[in-house]
Amino acid sequence: MTDSLPCVQVLNFYSTIFADELKRGRKTATIRLGDKSGKYRKNQAVLVTIGYQHSPRERIFEAVIDQVDVMKVADLSPRDIKHDNPEFRRHEELINFLEHIYGRAVSMDDVVTVVRFSQIVDNPRGMTQAMKGFGGAQN
């Protein structure tokens, strides 16, 4: 897509290990250190990218933010952690990962923001029928 983009918020991931997880729909959230509720808001459209600061970034897809929750690391559920990284379930795994990404110590008392998002697709399979009341959709 070579169209010029209007001013949009970017949800960037530094690790290319997430590219496949994002494209396959296995990564549906990100856990960011600190309170990011002022940066990301429910129903906001974002451009999901992968790459390092001051380097070319790969466009993965456009998404809509479904939910933004601010909490302590200790309050994260195994499900929250899994949606951020499908390979993780435990707080210790997430803490080690966050320490690697942010380059500082992270504790169970640190505040994080869980940003849940859904990919925006042009013609989702079954969407038209579901909107017409077919296919078992419930309103």
Express each pLDDT in 64-113 by its tens digit: 999 999 999 999 999 999 999 988 989 999 999 999 989 999 999 999 99
Over range 7-13, report the average pLDDT.
Answer: 86
- The answer to whether residues 96 and 21 touch, using CB atoms and an 8 Å cutoff, is no
Q: What are phi and psi of 95, to 5 degrees?
A: -60, -45
Report the percent of the chain where pLDDT is more than 90: 63
CATH classification at residue 110? 3.10.400.10
- Tell me, yes or no, whether 105 lies in a domain: yes
- Tell me, yes or no, whether 55 lies in a domain: yes
Q: Enumerate the β-bridge partners of residue 58.
A: 50
Mean pLDDT computed over every residue of the chain: 87
Count of structural domains, the chain: 1
- Tell me, yes or no, whether 56 lies in a domain: yes
- Tell me, yes or no, whether 139 lies in a domain: no
- Tell me, yes or no, whether 111 lies in a domain: yes
pLDDT digits (tens, 9 = 90+) for 13-59: 987 778 888 988 889 999 999 999 999 999 999 999 998 888 899 99
Closest CA to 81 of 92, 100, 94: 94
Domain of 67 in residue numbering reads as 9-131
- Tell me, yes or no, whether 3 lies in a domain: no
Report the percent of the chain where pLDDT is more than 70: 83
Sheet holding 111-119, edge to edge: 9-13, 45-50, 58-72, 111-119, 29-33
pLDDT of residue 128: 57
- The answer to whether residues 84 and 29 touch, using CB atoms and an 8 Å cutoff, is yes
pLDDT of residue 1: 46
Q: What are phi and psi of 120, to 5 degrees?
A: -95, 120
- Tell me, yes or no, whether 57 lies in a domain: yes
- Tell me, yes or no, whether 92 lies in a domain: yes
